[in-house]
Amino acid sequence: MDALGGADHAKAPELSQGSALRRATPDDVPVLVKHRRWMFEDMALAKGARHASAELDAMDAAYAQQLHTQLSDGRLQAWVIEAEGRVVASGAILLADWLPRPGDLTGCLAYLHSVYTEPDYRRRGLARRIVQTLIEVCRAKGLRRVMLHASDAGRPMYESMGFAATNEMRLMFESTAS
């Protein structure tokens, strides 16, 4: 068992269309990083923008390091779907210490992130299956809520699964990259 209450690298049942859902391992870090990059590229393109390659490259390196650490210590759990011998969809949940609040004294925040399906495999329910699996992991752990930041394209799926907009706000600082 790990911090998220799951058995290490359990294989899930077969899915339709010859796809298989399984828990990600450290060997999956390169594809998890690639999918996260493509997610940010897709979101920017949908708004007519682009991220600088150097900015994405720096994010890739930082995320890979974070994945190696957090997959190993159990703070992060990722799931992937394989089809035709390769990973075509992925998503992750990060468990973070958080403030207790009325109705949620767990002291833990589950943050769902980096849900991505490659374009040729979209509209087949793969992202939904990954998110359902991650929600089940959180429920089994006794967590009370799951947070996420939805892309415009992903928002309808999350809303159909019961996620609702919150009153979250943020303040962004200018980059102080050295």
- The reported pLDDT for the residue numbered 18 is 73
Residue 7's identity, in one-letter code, is: A
CA 61, CA 30: separation in Å to the nearest integer?
10
- Summarised one tens digit per residue, pLDDT across range 154-168 is 999 999 999 999 998
- Give 12's pLDDT tier (boundaries 50, 70, 90): very low
- The reported pLDDT for the residue numbered 168 is 87
For residues 175, 153, 60, 3, the Cα torsion angle rounded to the nearest 10 degrees is 100
- Give 177's pLDDT tier (boundaries 50, 70, 90): low
- The reported pLDDT for the residue numbered 5 is 44
User: What backbone phi and psi angles, to 5 degrees, belong to 110?
Assistant: -100, 120
- Summarised one tens digit per residue, pLDDT across range 112-154 is 999 999 999 999 999 999 999 999 999 999 999 999 999 999 9
Mean pLDDT of the chain: 90
- Give 4's pLDDT tier (boundaries 50, 70, 90): very low
- The reported pLDDT for the residue numbered 146 is 96
- Summarised one tens digit per residue, pLDDT across range 70-88 is 999 999 999 999 999 999 9
Please, what are the domains in the chain? 23-160 (3.40.630.30)
- The reported pLDDT for the residue numbered 175 is 75
Buried b (16+ CB within 10 A) or exposed e, 12-27: eeebeeebebbbbeee
Residue 169's identity, in one-letter code, is: M
